[in-house]
Structure 1
Amino acid sequence: MTNANNAGTSGSETQPEVVLDTVKVWDPFVRLFHWSLVGLFVFAYFTGDEWDNAHEWAGYAIAALVAVRVLWGIVGPRHARFSDFVYSPSTIITFLRDSVAMRAKRYIGHNPAGGAMVIGLIIAITAISATGYMMTMDSFWGEEWVEEAHEISVNGTLVLIIGHILGVALASIEHKENLVKSMITGLKRRN
Protein backbone atom coordinates (compact mmCIF):
# COMPACT_ATOMS: atom_id res chain seq x y z
CA MET A 1 0.00 0.00 0.00
CA THR A 2 1.50 3.35 -0.96
CA ASN A 3 0.69 6.94 -0.26
CA ALA A 4 2.30 9.66 -2.35
CA ASN A 5 2.80 12.86 -0.39
CA ASN A 6 3.03 15.77 -2.79
CA ALA A 7 1.64 18.52 -0.57
CA GLY A 8 3.32 21.86 -1.10
CA THR A 9 5.13 20.96 -4.30
CA SER A 10 4.71 22.38 -7.73
CA GLY A 11 5.38 21.24 -11.27
CA SER A 12 7.60 18.23 -11.69
CA GLU A 13 9.09 18.62 -8.21
CA THR A 14 7.81 15.81 -5.98
CA GLN A 15 8.67 14.44 -2.58
CA PRO A 16 9.68 10.82 -2.16
CA GLU A 17 6.87 8.31 -2.04
CA VAL A 18 6.03 7.14 1.48
CA VAL A 19 5.47 3.40 1.64
CA LEU A 20 3.21 2.16 4.38
CA ASP A 21 4.44 -1.32 5.20
CA THR A 22 1.30 -3.29 6.06
CA VAL A 23 0.43 -6.93 6.31
CA LYS A 24 -2.92 -8.65 5.86
CA VAL A 25 -3.82 -10.12 9.26
CA TRP A 26 -7.58 -10.51 9.58
CA ASP A 27 -9.21 -12.48 6.80
CA PRO A 28 -12.70 -11.52 5.54
CA PHE A 29 -14.46 -14.21 7.59
CA VAL A 30 -12.84 -13.12 10.88
CA ARG A 31 -13.82 -9.51 10.21
CA LEU A 32 -17.38 -10.40 9.14
CA PHE A 33 -17.71 -12.70 12.17
CA HIS A 34 -16.49 -10.01 14.56
CA TRP A 35 -18.77 -7.22 13.37
CA SER A 36 -21.77 -9.53 12.85
CA LEU A 37 -21.36 -10.81 16.39
CA VAL A 38 -21.18 -7.25 17.71
CA GLY A 39 -24.38 -6.28 15.88
CA LEU A 40 -26.29 -9.43 16.75
CA PHE A 41 -25.26 -9.30 20.42
CA VAL A 42 -26.41 -5.69 20.73
CA PHE A 43 -29.67 -6.54 18.95
CA ALA A 44 -30.27 -9.61 21.14
CA TYR A 45 -29.46 -7.66 24.29
CA PHE A 46 -31.97 -4.93 23.56
CA THR A 47 -34.74 -7.24 22.32
CA GLY A 48 -34.46 -9.79 25.14
CA ASP A 49 -37.49 -8.70 27.15
CA GLU A 50 -39.40 -6.97 24.38
CA TRP A 51 -39.33 -8.99 21.17
CA ASP A 52 -39.00 -12.70 21.95
CA ASN A 53 -39.08 -14.09 18.41
CA ALA A 54 -36.44 -11.70 17.08
CA HIS A 55 -34.34 -12.26 20.20
CA GLU A 56 -34.42 -16.03 19.69
CA TRP A 57 -33.48 -15.79 16.00
CA ALA A 58 -30.58 -13.47 16.88
CA GLY A 59 -29.50 -16.10 19.40
CA TYR A 60 -29.61 -18.85 16.78
CA ALA A 61 -27.56 -16.69 14.40
CA ILE A 62 -25.02 -15.99 17.15
CA ALA A 63 -24.75 -19.71 17.96
CA ALA A 64 -24.20 -20.51 14.27
CA LEU A 65 -21.55 -17.79 13.96
CA VAL A 66 -19.69 -19.09 17.00
CA ALA A 67 -19.83 -22.68 15.70
CA VAL A 68 -18.35 -21.61 12.36
CA ARG A 69 -15.72 -19.49 14.16
CA VAL A 70 -14.64 -22.50 16.22
CA LEU A 71 -14.25 -24.51 13.01
CA TRP A 72 -12.38 -21.57 11.42
CA GLY A 73 -10.11 -21.54 14.47
CA ILE A 74 -8.99 -25.02 13.47
CA VAL A 75 -8.82 -24.81 9.66
CA GLY A 76 -8.69 -21.07 8.87
CA PRO A 77 -5.67 -18.98 7.92
CA ARG A 78 -2.77 -18.47 10.33
CA HIS A 79 -4.00 -15.59 12.49
CA ALA A 80 -7.53 -17.04 12.73
CA ARG A 81 -6.27 -20.34 14.17
CA PHE A 82 -6.36 -21.04 17.88
CA SER A 83 -2.83 -22.42 17.60
CA ASP A 84 -1.68 -18.88 16.72
CA PHE A 85 -3.11 -17.17 19.79
CA VAL A 86 -3.70 -19.58 22.66
CA TYR A 87 -0.98 -18.98 25.24
CA SER A 88 -0.13 -20.37 28.65
CA PRO A 89 -1.55 -18.63 31.73
CA SER A 90 1.94 -17.45 32.73
CA THR A 91 2.47 -15.84 29.31
CA ILE A 92 -0.92 -14.10 29.58
CA ILE A 93 -0.14 -12.79 33.09
CA THR A 94 3.31 -11.55 32.02
CA PHE A 95 1.76 -9.84 28.99
CA LEU A 96 -0.90 -8.14 31.14
CA ARG A 97 1.75 -6.93 33.61
CA ASP A 98 3.84 -5.58 30.74
CA SER A 99 0.76 -3.91 29.21
CA VAL A 100 -0.03 -2.05 32.42
CA ALA A 101 3.59 -0.84 32.43
CA MET A 102 3.18 0.15 28.72
CA ARG A 103 6.05 -2.11 27.64
CA ALA A 104 4.22 -5.12 26.20
CA LYS A 105 5.54 -6.85 23.13
CA ARG A 106 3.53 -6.08 19.98
CA TYR A 107 1.95 -9.03 18.17
CA ILE A 108 0.80 -9.05 14.55
CA GLY A 109 -2.14 -11.34 15.37
CA HIS A 110 -3.90 -11.61 18.72
CA ASN A 111 -1.68 -10.86 21.68
CA PRO A 112 -1.85 -13.26 24.67
CA ALA A 113 -4.57 -11.21 26.41
CA GLY A 114 -6.54 -10.88 23.17
CA GLY A 115 -6.29 -14.62 22.57
CA ALA A 116 -7.54 -15.34 26.09
CA MET A 117 -10.39 -12.89 25.46
CA VAL A 118 -11.40 -14.70 22.26
CA ILE A 119 -11.58 -18.00 24.15
CA GLY A 120 -13.42 -16.39 27.08
CA LEU A 121 -15.97 -14.76 24.80
CA ILE A 122 -16.56 -17.97 22.85
CA ILE A 123 -17.20 -19.84 26.11
CA ALA A 124 -19.44 -17.09 27.52
CA ILE A 125 -21.46 -16.71 24.32
CA THR A 126 -21.82 -20.48 24.08
CA ALA A 127 -23.23 -20.45 27.63
CA ILE A 128 -25.67 -17.70 26.65
CA SER A 129 -26.75 -19.66 23.57
CA ALA A 130 -27.12 -22.95 25.45
CA THR A 131 -29.16 -21.48 28.29
CA GLY A 132 -31.23 -19.42 25.87
CA TYR A 133 -32.04 -22.53 23.87
CA MET A 134 -32.87 -24.43 27.06
CA MET A 135 -35.42 -21.74 27.92
CA THR A 136 -37.34 -22.66 24.73
CA MET A 137 -37.49 -26.37 25.58
CA ASP A 138 -40.51 -27.88 27.32
CA SER A 139 -38.31 -29.69 29.83
CA PHE A 140 -36.74 -26.42 31.07
CA TRP A 141 -39.68 -24.06 30.47
CA GLY A 142 -40.06 -21.72 33.43
CA GLU A 143 -37.07 -23.14 35.32
CA GLU A 144 -35.69 -20.24 37.30
CA TRP A 145 -32.14 -21.59 37.44
CA VAL A 146 -31.95 -21.66 33.63
CA GLU A 147 -33.12 -18.05 33.37
CA GLU A 148 -30.64 -17.03 36.07
CA ALA A 149 -27.81 -18.87 34.32
CA HIS A 150 -28.75 -17.08 31.09
CA GLU A 151 -28.69 -13.67 32.79
CA ILE A 152 -25.40 -14.42 34.57
CA SER A 153 -23.87 -15.49 31.24
CA VAL A 154 -25.07 -12.27 29.58
CA ASN A 155 -23.74 -10.09 32.40
CA GLY A 156 -20.43 -11.97 32.44
CA THR A 157 -20.15 -11.46 28.70
CA LEU A 158 -20.78 -7.73 29.13
CA VAL A 159 -17.87 -7.61 31.60
CA LEU A 160 -15.67 -9.41 29.05
CA ILE A 161 -16.77 -7.01 26.30
CA ILE A 162 -15.84 -4.00 28.45
CA GLY A 163 -12.47 -5.63 29.15
CA HIS A 164 -12.02 -6.31 25.43
CA ILE A 165 -12.75 -2.69 24.51
CA LEU A 166 -10.37 -1.39 27.20
CA GLY A 167 -7.67 -3.82 26.07
CA VAL A 168 -8.04 -2.77 22.44
CA ALA A 169 -7.82 0.90 23.48
CA LEU A 170 -4.73 0.28 25.63
CA ALA A 171 -2.94 -1.74 22.93
CA SER A 172 -3.86 0.86 20.29
CA ILE A 173 -2.33 3.62 22.42
CA GLU A 174 0.69 1.59 23.51
CA HIS A 175 1.62 0.46 20.01
CA LYS A 176 0.37 3.56 18.19
CA GLU A 177 -1.97 1.72 15.84
CA ASN A 178 -5.70 1.72 15.29
CA LEU A 179 -6.80 -1.83 16.09
CA VAL A 180 -10.45 -1.08 15.35
CA LYS A 181 -9.48 0.05 11.86
CA SER A 182 -7.43 -3.13 11.38
CA MET A 183 -10.53 -5.21 12.19
CA ILE A 184 -12.30 -3.30 9.40
CA THR A 185 -9.55 -3.35 6.76
CA GLY A 186 -7.79 -6.55 7.80
CA LEU A 187 -4.43 -4.74 7.64
CA LYS A 188 -1.92 -3.98 10.36
CA ARG A 189 1.43 -2.25 10.37
CA ARG A 190 4.15 -4.84 9.71
CA ASN A 191 6.61 -3.46 12.29
Structure 2
Amino acid sequence: MTQPSSALIWDSFTRLFHWLLVASIGLAWWTAEQGGDWMEWHLRCGYAVLSLVGFRLIWGFVGSRYARFGSFVRSPANTLDYAKSLKAGSAPEYQGHNPLGGWMVIALLLLALTQAATGLFANDDIFTEGPLASLISYDLSIEITRWHEALFNVILVAIGLHLAGVFFHQLVKKEKLIQAMIHGRKPAAPQTAITSQHWLRGLILAAAFAGLFVWLGF
Protein backbone atom coordinates (compact mmCIF):
# COMPACT_ATOMS: atom_id res chain seq x y z
CA MET A 1 0.00 0.00 0.00
CA THR A 2 1.41 3.37 -0.99
CA GLN A 3 2.03 5.71 1.91
CA PRO A 4 0.44 9.17 1.48
CA SER A 5 2.80 12.04 0.82
CA SER A 6 3.51 14.43 3.66
CA ALA A 7 4.72 17.99 3.75
CA LEU A 8 6.37 20.16 6.38
CA ILE A 9 3.70 22.70 7.37
CA TRP A 10 4.63 23.99 10.82
CA ASP A 11 8.15 25.36 11.27
CA SER A 12 10.22 24.57 14.35
CA PHE A 13 9.73 28.02 15.89
CA THR A 14 5.92 27.85 15.65
CA ARG A 15 5.88 24.40 17.24
CA LEU A 16 8.28 25.36 20.02
CA PHE A 17 6.26 28.51 20.73
CA HIS A 18 3.06 26.49 20.96
CA TRP A 19 4.32 23.99 23.53
CA LEU A 20 6.22 26.57 25.58
CA LEU A 21 3.06 28.68 25.81
CA VAL A 22 1.08 25.63 26.94
CA ALA A 23 3.69 24.94 29.62
CA SER A 24 3.92 28.58 30.73
CA ILE A 25 0.17 29.01 31.13
CA GLY A 26 -0.13 25.69 32.93
CA LEU A 27 2.70 26.54 35.33
CA ALA A 28 1.30 30.04 35.86
CA TRP A 29 -1.98 28.50 37.00
CA TRP A 30 -0.26 25.92 39.22
CA THR A 31 2.07 28.39 40.93
CA ALA A 32 -0.81 30.80 41.58
CA GLU A 33 -2.75 27.98 43.22
CA GLN A 34 0.24 27.18 45.46
CA GLY A 35 0.83 30.79 46.49
CA GLY A 36 3.56 31.73 48.95
CA ASP A 37 7.11 31.50 47.61
CA TRP A 38 5.76 30.03 44.37
CA MET A 39 4.45 33.49 43.42
CA GLU A 40 7.96 34.43 42.34
CA TRP A 41 7.73 31.67 39.75
CA HIS A 42 4.21 32.78 38.90
CA LEU A 43 5.67 36.14 37.93
CA ARG A 44 8.33 34.42 35.83
CA CYS A 45 5.67 32.40 34.06
CA GLY A 46 3.92 35.68 33.28
CA TYR A 47 7.13 37.10 31.83
CA ALA A 48 7.49 33.93 29.76
CA VAL A 49 3.96 34.34 28.38
CA LEU A 50 4.63 38.00 27.59
CA SER A 51 7.88 37.14 25.79
CA LEU A 52 6.38 34.21 23.89
CA VAL A 53 3.37 36.17 22.68
CA GLY A 54 5.63 39.05 21.67
CA PHE A 55 7.67 36.59 19.60
CA ARG A 56 4.57 35.07 17.99
CA LEU A 57 3.07 38.42 17.06
CA ILE A 58 6.19 39.33 15.11
CA TRP A 59 6.59 35.81 13.73
CA GLY A 60 3.07 36.15 12.38
CA PHE A 61 4.45 38.68 9.89
CA VAL A 62 7.99 37.43 9.19
CA GLY A 63 7.73 33.68 9.82
CA SER A 64 7.15 30.79 7.47
CA ARG A 65 4.15 30.56 5.15
CA TYR A 66 1.55 28.95 7.40
CA ALA A 67 2.70 30.79 10.53
CA ARG A 68 1.85 34.17 9.01
CA PHE A 69 -1.44 35.79 9.96
CA GLY A 70 -2.11 36.53 6.31
CA SER A 71 -2.36 32.80 5.61
CA PHE A 72 -5.10 32.02 8.13
CA VAL A 73 -6.92 35.17 9.28
CA ARG A 74 -9.91 35.34 6.99
CA SER A 75 -12.93 37.60 6.68
CA PRO A 76 -16.00 37.08 8.90
CA ALA A 77 -18.01 36.07 5.81
CA ASN A 78 -15.45 33.45 4.83
CA THR A 79 -15.33 32.16 8.39
CA LEU A 80 -19.12 31.92 8.55
CA ASP A 81 -19.19 30.00 5.27
CA TYR A 82 -16.61 27.60 6.66
CA ALA A 83 -18.66 27.10 9.84
CA LYS A 84 -21.75 26.30 7.72
CA SER A 85 -19.82 23.82 5.59
CA LEU A 86 -18.40 22.22 8.74
CA LYS A 87 -21.91 21.73 10.09
CA ALA A 88 -22.99 20.24 6.77
CA GLY A 89 -20.03 17.88 6.74
CA SER A 90 -18.53 19.36 3.60
CA ALA A 91 -15.83 21.61 5.03
CA PRO A 92 -12.62 21.79 3.02
CA GLU A 93 -9.29 20.86 4.60
CA TYR A 94 -6.61 23.48 5.13
CA GLN A 95 -2.90 22.86 5.34
CA GLY A 96 -2.54 25.56 7.98
CA HIS A 97 -5.23 26.82 10.33
CA ASN A 98 -8.79 26.74 9.06
CA PRO A 99 -10.80 30.00 9.37
CA LEU A 100 -12.30 29.13 12.77
CA GLY A 101 -8.97 27.90 14.07
CA GLY A 102 -7.29 31.04 12.79
CA TRP A 103 -9.58 33.31 14.76
CA MET A 104 -9.12 31.13 17.83
CA VAL A 105 -5.35 31.65 17.52
CA ILE A 106 -5.89 35.42 17.46
CA ALA A 107 -8.25 35.24 20.45
CA LEU A 108 -5.83 33.14 22.51
CA LEU A 109 -2.89 35.41 21.69
CA LEU A 110 -4.82 38.53 22.68
CA LEU A 111 -6.14 36.92 25.86
CA ALA A 112 -2.69 35.70 26.86
CA LEU A 113 -1.18 39.11 26.13
CA THR A 114 -3.86 40.91 28.16
CA GLN A 115 -3.48 38.43 31.02
CA ALA A 116 0.27 38.93 31.17
CA ALA A 117 -0.06 42.71 30.84
CA THR A 118 -2.57 43.00 33.69
CA GLY A 119 -0.26 40.86 35.82
CA LEU A 120 2.39 43.56 35.53
CA PHE A 121 0.13 45.90 37.52
CA ALA A 122 -1.49 43.33 39.83
CA ASN A 123 -1.23 43.30 43.61
CA ASP A 124 -2.36 40.41 45.81
CA ASP A 125 -2.53 42.76 48.82
CA ILE A 126 -0.24 40.45 50.80
CA PHE A 127 3.39 40.43 49.67
CA THR A 128 3.43 39.99 45.87
CA GLU A 129 2.87 42.70 43.31
CA GLY A 130 3.66 43.17 39.65
CA PRO A 131 6.74 45.17 38.66
CA LEU A 132 4.63 48.10 37.44
CA ALA A 133 2.11 48.19 40.29
CA SER A 134 3.91 51.09 41.94
CA LEU A 135 3.26 53.26 38.86
CA ILE A 136 -0.49 53.36 39.48
CA SER A 137 -2.71 53.93 42.49
CA TYR A 138 -3.34 51.19 45.02
CA ASP A 139 -7.08 51.11 44.23
CA LEU A 140 -6.45 50.77 40.50
CA SER A 141 -3.90 48.03 41.12
CA ILE A 142 -6.44 46.08 43.18
CA GLU A 143 -9.05 46.54 40.45
CA ILE A 144 -6.64 45.31 37.78
CA THR A 145 -5.90 42.31 39.99
CA ARG A 146 -9.61 41.45 39.86
CA TRP A 147 -9.49 41.72 36.07
CA HIS A 148 -6.41 39.50 36.05
CA GLU A 149 -8.16 36.80 38.06
CA ALA A 150 -11.44 37.00 36.12
CA LEU A 151 -9.70 36.98 32.76
CA PHE A 152 -8.10 33.64 33.52
CA ASN A 153 -11.58 32.09 33.61
CA VAL A 154 -12.17 33.49 30.12
CA ILE A 155 -8.87 31.96 29.02
CA LEU A 156 -9.96 28.59 30.41
CA VAL A 157 -13.15 28.78 28.34
CA ALA A 158 -11.17 29.70 25.23
CA ILE A 159 -8.74 26.84 25.84
CA GLY A 160 -11.69 24.48 26.27
CA LEU A 161 -13.16 25.58 22.93
CA HIS A 162 -9.76 25.25 21.29
CA LEU A 163 -9.30 21.71 22.63
CA ALA A 164 -12.83 20.77 21.57
CA GLY A 165 -12.04 21.91 18.03
CA VAL A 166 -8.73 20.06 18.00
CA PHE A 167 -10.27 16.80 19.22
CA PHE A 168 -13.16 17.13 16.77
CA HIS A 169 -10.72 17.32 13.88
CA GLN A 170 -8.47 14.68 15.45
CA LEU A 171 -11.14 12.09 16.24
CA VAL A 172 -14.02 12.84 13.87
CA LYS A 173 -12.31 14.20 10.77
CA LYS A 174 -9.21 12.05 11.34
CA GLU A 175 -6.83 14.98 10.89
CA LYS A 176 -3.70 14.43 12.98
CA LEU A 177 -3.42 17.98 14.27
CA ILE A 178 -1.69 17.11 17.54
CA GLN A 179 0.97 15.02 15.81
CA ALA A 180 1.50 17.78 13.26
CA MET A 181 2.23 20.27 16.03
CA ILE A 182 4.92 17.88 17.29
CA HIS A 183 6.75 16.90 14.10
CA GLY A 184 5.45 19.65 11.83
CA ARG A 185 4.26 17.44 8.98
CA LYS A 186 0.77 16.82 7.56
CA PRO A 187 -0.48 14.54 4.80
CA ALA A 188 -0.24 16.73 1.72
CA ALA A 189 1.39 17.06 -1.64
CA PRO A 190 5.10 17.91 -1.33
CA GLN A 191 4.63 21.17 -3.22
CA THR A 192 2.46 22.53 -0.40
CA ALA A 193 5.36 22.32 2.10
CA ILE A 194 7.00 25.43 3.44
CA THR A 195 10.11 26.27 1.47
CA SER A 196 12.04 27.75 4.38
CA GLN A 197 11.88 27.79 8.17
CA HIS A 198 13.69 31.15 8.21
CA TRP A 199 16.23 29.90 10.72
CA LEU A 200 18.33 33.06 10.91
CA ARG A 201 15.53 35.53 11.57
CA GLY A 202 13.84 33.02 13.87
CA LEU A 203 16.95 32.50 15.96
CA ILE A 204 17.60 36.25 16.19
CA LEU A 205 14.00 36.92 17.21
CA ALA A 206 13.95 34.03 19.69
CA ALA A 207 17.23 35.19 21.24
CA ALA A 208 15.87 38.72 21.63
CA PHE A 209 12.73 37.60 23.45
CA ALA A 210 14.63 35.02 25.50
CA GLY A 211 16.86 37.88 26.60
CA LEU A 212 13.78 39.92 27.49
CA PHE A 213 12.47 37.04 29.60
CA VAL A 214 15.79 36.67 31.47
CA TRP A 215 16.01 40.43 32.04
CA LEU A 216 12.47 40.59 33.43
CA GLY A 217 12.54 37.40 35.48
CA PHE A 218 16.05 37.12 36.83
Q: What's the TM-score bracket when you normalise by the shorter of the two chains? A: 0.7 to 0.9
Bigger mean CA offset, 44-53 vs 90-99: 90-99
User: TM-score, normalized by length of structure 2?
Assistant: 0.76
Match of 1:130 among 114, 117, 125: 117
- Tell me the amino acid that sits aligned with residue 67 of structure 2: A
- Structure 1 position 175, deviation (Å): 3.2
- When the two chains are superposed, the root-mean-square deviation of aligned CA atoms in Å is 1.5
- Paired with 1:79 and 1:65, the residues of 2 have a C-alpha distance of 18
Q: Helix, strand or coil: the match of 1:104?
A: coil
8 Å Cα contact 1:140-1:146 kept in structure 2 = no
- Structure 1 position 155, deviation (Å): 1.1
User: TM-score, normalized by length of structure 1?
Assistant: 0.86
- Structure 1 position 19, deviation (Å): 2.9
Equivalent residue runs for 1:19-98 within 5 Å? 19-49=3-33, 50=35, 51-98=38-85
Per-residue CA distance 1:95-145 (angstroms, 9 max, x = gap):
222223332110000000111011000110011011001111112546332
- Structure 1 position 86, deviation (Å): 0.5
- Tell me the amino acid that sits aligned with residue 63 of structure 1: L
Distance change (3 Å), C-alpha of 1:140 and 1:185:
farther
- Tell me the amino acid that sits aligned with residue 71 of structure 1: I
- Paired with 1:60 and 1:96, the residues of 2 have a C-alpha distance of 35
Pick 1 or 2: higher relative contact order, CA cutoff 8 A, min separation 6.
2
- Paired with 2:6 and 2:57, the residues of 1 have a C-alpha distance of 27
**Which residue matches 2:175?**
177
**Which residue matches 1:101?**
88
**Which residue matches 2:210?**
none
Alignment gaps of 5+ in structure 1: 1-15
Alignment gaps of 5+ in structure 2: 123-129, 190-218
Equivalent residue runs for 1:111-122 within 5 Å? 111-122=98-109
Q: Helix, strand or coil: the match of 1:134?
A: coil
Per-residue CA distance 1:22-56 (angstroms, 9 max, x = gap):
01000000000000100110000111141210000
Q: Helix, strand or coil: the match of 2:186?
A: strand
**Which residue matches 1:189?**
187
Bigger mean CA offset, 47-56 vs 81-90: 47-56
Distance change (3 Å), C-alpha of 1:85 and 1:27:
same
Larger % of helix: which?
2
Larger Rg: 1
- Tell me the amino acid that sits aligned with residue 145 of structure 1: E
Distance change (3 Å), C-alpha of 1:178 and 1:141:
farther
**Which residue matches 2:202?**
none
